[in-house]
Structure formats: C-alpha cells, structure tokens
C-alpha cells in the first residue's frame, strides 16, 4: 500500500465510524448499560486517542494535544501508556460533549494527515505501520460500537430501532444440516507474508489434525429452540462446571436478546424487536451455551485449527458489514457455507500464543498478548465485521461467559 492509498483508507475508515453513528441521537452516545460495553462517544474518542498517543505524540514534533486529560480519559487498558479512567464508569461522563469529541477527531485528523504528507524520513516506515494498525484498530471498534449500541438499546422497553432496512426475501428454505469431511494430517495455520495481520496470528506453524467433519452451515434458531424445549438449560449433564454455575447465577433460559411475548419467542436486534425467525442462525451465545448445545446434539465445537484449515480453502465472502443488513441471514446454499460473515463461530480452542509468538515491541505489545488467558477463540467474522478486515487466520477472542458479541456456532465431529 503506497502513501496515497494509506491516506485514502485512513479517511474512508474514519468517515465510516461517523457514518455508523449517524442514526444515533445525542443521548444515545452517552449510555453504558453494562460494564463490558462502552458509550458510543467513548469509542469515537478512544480510536482517536490511539492515533494521537502512538503516532502523533512520538513522531509529530509540532503536535499539541487538544486536551491533555484526554490521555487519561480515553486510554483503554495500556498500562505502559499512563493511567486510565475505570471502564465501568465511562457512562458517567457527560463531558467532553459529543460535539467536543467530534472536534477532537478533527484535530487529530488534521495533524495526522499533515504528518503522512511529510513524514520524517527516519521514522516513515514506523509511522506507516502504526497508521495501518490504527486503521485496523478503528475497524474493530466499529464492530464494538454496533455490539454495544445493540446492548444499550436492548434494555429499553421501547425497543429502539437503530437500523431501518428491508431484509432480502428468502425464496428457498434453509438447506438441511449436512456434513463435509476433511482429511487430517500435518497442516499449516497462522498468517504468513507481508500483508497486515495482528501479532496473535503469527507465526505460521504446523499442527496435526485428525480426520474430522464440519456442519455445512451454522446452527439455526429452530434447531436451538429444540434444545431449549428438551430442557437444555435445566440439564446439568450438558454443561461444564463453571458454565452451570454461571447459568444459574445469570438465570439464563435462552440466548441473549430472546424474550417471550405471550407464547411466542421474540428477538431484539439492531432493526428492532421481531418474532423469532426459525431459519436465522442462532446468535449471541456464550461459549458455554454453544458447548452445551453441541454436547446435546452429540457433536462438539471445532478447534480453531480445524476451522482455519477448512476456511482457508474458501474465498472470503459472505454477509459482512458491507452488505448493509447488520443481521445474520439464513443459509441459502448447500455445501460448506457461512464460514465467513453472519456470525463469529465459537471454537473449542483456548486463546493461547502460537509456538514462537512474539508480541509487538513496547506499549503496542499490550494490544493482544496480555489477554492470552481465560479467553476462547472465535473465527470467521460477522454481519457487522468489515469484509476488508477479515482473514482466514484472524483470531477473535472473548471470555466463555460473554454473549453480547455476534456469536454463533458450527458443529464438528471426529471421523473415527
């Protein structure tokens, strides 16, 4: 990517963040309905802080911060970059205002574009690499912004509509679940080459797979409803020990965003509240729920190596953010489908470093590596992931009990 392309991509991604906020009212920017989510204005400011702290401050000698206290307010978790405001309290901050956050974005954009137009020669390569990381970081937060908006809206009895869209008519029934077989052996996974990837995707390495098969599509709502109707949330034999404790503490009886209206199951998404669509992929499952369903079905979740080995043979296409739907769609093809887009797919793999993993040097080493504990890996992207952001080697990760991300499941089985 040359400098002109990098500048254009920077401007495009920065504009998309603001376009995603266009449906919000000023009041919507400020709410934080639980500890795990953040206000929309915080997302807009934090990604701006990233460019400021990691590029402008070290490399733009004439740069002056708009407000030095923003370095504390909008630092997320970087211990080596200074202090940060407590995450659970971000929704308590009425100031800076939304208008002031947008002014902050303009201030940083002006300075960064000036730096990219005239980078100091001795630091030019580092600046370009960090700008690219900052762009990918902002794309991640665009997905987080939509995840968090959905949760923040979900607690409101008015069921606010974020996104008004006419979903495509589906002329064909969802194909029945089938299986695709894969021969095991020594395979390579992980990112290789000079194109962008996060440090946790490297190094590319060999791993041994046994013969296995994958479900050809994601598990749908009707199939998950059969699990519920069979007492799936009441059967201790289906749940891991910590899962059973969490289920009872949180009083789970269905996936997040499902609720009953009379005898009917309803579902809340970014387009509002609707009757549950039986063929839509079941979404917003914790790893615990995905694992329990797989156990109930007599199957298991795939490993991340199995998933990448299978997905690496397919083109990266599907229902992404780019489709403008923001809702997972029922499978419409036979054969292995929905590997990319629609929903992140839980794997049975813990989020751990690859053999030979090395975090980025300095403060940026905190980006991924320090989270390699008590997290599980998801693969494939979702309907609110930008398609340009996805790779077969991309490793997303969340805690096993988390449910507010766009997460679903695909079944796997050993071939004995």
189 in the same domain as 129: no
- Residue indicated by tokens 């001795």: 122
In a domain, 174, yes or no: no
CATH code assigned at 208:
3.90.1580.10
193 in the same domain as 106: no
In a domain, 326, yes or no: yes
Question: What's the pLDDT score for residue 172?
Answer: 74
* Domain extent for 58: 3-154
- pTM, two decimal places: 0.97
In a domain, 370, yes or no: yes
Percent of the chain having pLDDT more than 90? 93
H/E stretch holding 42 reads helix 40-51
Question: What's the pLDDT score for residue 338?
Answer: 98
The last residue of a domain, from among 91, 119, 154: 154
Q: How many domains does the chain have?
A: 2
190 in the same domain as 125: no
Q: pLDDT digit string (tens) for 65-74?
A: 999 999 999 9
31: region left, alpha or beta (phi > 0 left; psi from -120 to 50 alpha) = beta
274 in the same domain as 201: yes
191 in the same domain as 126: no
188 in the same domain as 119: no
216 in the same domain as 109: no
Would the CA dihedral through 380, 384, 385, 387 be positive or negative? positive
In a domain, 173, yes or no: no
227 in the same domain as 366: yes
Q: pLDDT digit string (tens) for 182-204?
A: 999 999 999 998 899 999 999 99
How distant, in Å, are the alpha carbons of 78, 316, 322, 342 from that of 391?
A: 26, 7, 15, 15
DSSP H helices in 320-364 = none
225 in the same domain as 144: no
Q: Is 373 exposed, middle or buried (0-12, 13-18, 19+ CB in 10 A)?
A: exposed
202 in the same domain as 140: no
User: What CA–CA distance (Å, rounded) separates 318 from 88?
Assistant: 35
193 in the same domain as 143: no
């Amino acid at each position: 990517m040359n400098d002109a392309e990098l500048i254009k991509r920077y401007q495009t991604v920065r504009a998309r963040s603001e376009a995603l906020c266009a449906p919000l009212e000023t009041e919507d920017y400020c709410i934080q309905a639980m500890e795990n989510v953040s206000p929309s204005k915080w997302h807009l400011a934090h990604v701006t802080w990233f460019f400021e702290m990691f590029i402008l401050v070290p490399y733009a000698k004439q740069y002056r911060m708009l407000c030095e206290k923003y370095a504390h307010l909008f630092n997320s978790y970087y211990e080596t970059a200074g202090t940060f405001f407590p995450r659970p309290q971000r929704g308590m901050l009425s100031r800076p205002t939304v208008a002031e956050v947008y002014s902050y974005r303009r201030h940083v954009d002006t300075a960064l574009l000036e730096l990219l137009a005239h980078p100091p020669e001795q630091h030019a390569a580092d600046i370009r690499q960090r700008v690219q990381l900052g762009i990918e970081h902002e794309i991640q937060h665009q997905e987080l912004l939509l995840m968090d908006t959905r949760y923040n809206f979900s607690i409101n009895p008015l069921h606010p509509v974020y996104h008004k869209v006419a979903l495509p008519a589906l002329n064909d029934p969802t194909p029945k679940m089938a299986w695709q077989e894969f021969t095991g052996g020594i395979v390579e996974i992980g990112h290789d080459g000079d194109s962008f990837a996060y440090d946790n995707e490297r190094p590319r390495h060999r791993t041994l797979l046994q013969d296995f098969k994958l479900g050809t599509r994601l598990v749908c709502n009707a199939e998950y409803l059969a699990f519920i109707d069979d007492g799936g949330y009441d059967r201790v034999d289906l749940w891991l020990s910590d899962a059973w404790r969490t289920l009872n503490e949180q009083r789970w009886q269905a996936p997040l965003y499902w609720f009953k209206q009379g005898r009917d199951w309803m579902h809340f998404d970014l387009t509002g509240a609707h009757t549950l669509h039986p063929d839509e992929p079941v979404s917003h499952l914790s790893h615990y729920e995905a694992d329990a369903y797989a156990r109930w079905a007599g199957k298991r979740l795939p490993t991340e190596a199995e998933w990448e080995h299978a997905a690496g043979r397919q083109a990266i296409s599907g229902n992404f953010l780019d489709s403008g739907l923001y809702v997972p769609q029922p499978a419409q093809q036979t054969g292995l489908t929905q590997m990319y887009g629609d929903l992140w797919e839980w794997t049975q793999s813990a989020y751990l470093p690859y053999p030979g993993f090395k975090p980025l040097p300095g403060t940026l080493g905190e980006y991924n590596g320090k989270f390699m504990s008590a997290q599980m890996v998801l693969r494939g992207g979702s309907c609110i992931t930008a398609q340009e952001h996805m790779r077969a080697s991309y490793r997303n990760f969340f805690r096993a009990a988390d449910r507010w991300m766009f997460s679903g499941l695909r079944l796997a089985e050993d071939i004995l």
